[in-house]
């Protein structure tokens, strides 16, 4: 059905282009109004041509309504944005992006050097995971060691919990929190 919709929209776009050009030519006076009127009159008055014109008009009205009111995004694409759908012989399991983000946040917050964590997860069509972690860390943290350990731990935890392959763990240290004075 998608291919049929694409072809119909291409035809619709071309007809709208032709009509727009004709209207512009009429407005600028480069096309004779009487000639266009005679052609339209013959098309509308003719028995066969009027039925074809009516059928095309109905189809184009329906296409216009579809384009205005209905999103072209399929349910599968919406589900891909929401998470990963895993299937086996027992049924289906939807793992949302939010679940993976919460998992990554819990892993990161288990590190003593991490003060605050925000996470973003991206999924590709092969259900590979890309994780983007933004950190606020303590002033005594060794950033290189923290990031390497955090990347390894996130990959391990996501693989263990969800059986999804983490392709990338991208860490951004947004800020180093000032050392707090003990009272």
SS3 27: helix
Q: Which two tokens stand for residue 120?
A: 């973003």
pLDDT score at 24: 92
Output the pLDDT for position 155: 94
Residues 137-162: b if buried by 16+ CB within 10 A, e if exposed: bbeebeeeebbeebbebbbebbeeeb
> Which residues on neighbouring strands pair with residue 85, listed in sequence order?
94
**How would DSSP label each residue in 40-68?**
HHHHHHSHHHHHHHHHHHHHHHHHHHHHH
Q: What is the pLDDT of residue 83?
A: 78
The answer to whether the beta carbons of residues 118 and 155 sit under 8 Å apart is no
Which DSSP string corresponds to 80-95?
HHHEEEEEETTEEEEE
pLDDT tens-digit series, residues 71-84: 665 555 555 557 77
Residues in the chain predicted with pLDDT less than 50, given as ranges, are none
pLDDT score, position 45: 86
Element housing 120 (H / E): strand 114-123
Asked if 86 and 92 touch (Cβ cutoff 8 Å), the reply is: yes
Q: How much is the pLDDT for 132?
A: 95
């Amino acid at each position: 059905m998608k291919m049929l919709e694409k072809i119909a929209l291409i035809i619709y776009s071309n007809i709208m282009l032709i009509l727009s050009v004709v209207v512009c030519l009429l407005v600028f006076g480069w096309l004779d109004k009487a000639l266009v009127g005679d052609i339209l009159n013959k098309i509308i008055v003719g028995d066969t041509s009027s039925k074809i014109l009516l059928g095309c008009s109905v189809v184009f009205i329906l296409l216009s309504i579809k384009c205005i009111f209905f999103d072209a995004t399929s349910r599968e694409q919406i589900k891909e944005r929401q998470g990963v759908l895993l299937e086996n012989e027992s049924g289906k399991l939807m793992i949302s992006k939010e679940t993976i983000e919460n998992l990554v946040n819990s892993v990161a917050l288990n590190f003593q050097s991490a003060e605050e964590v925000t996470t973003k997860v991206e999924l590709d069509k092969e259900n590979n995971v890309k994780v983007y972690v933004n950190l606020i860390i303590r002033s005594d943290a060794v950033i290189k060691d923290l990031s390497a350990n955090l990347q390894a731990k996130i990959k391990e935890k996501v693989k263990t919990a969800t059986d999804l392959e983490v392709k990338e763990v991208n860490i951004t240290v947004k800020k180093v929190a000032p050392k707090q004075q003990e009272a």
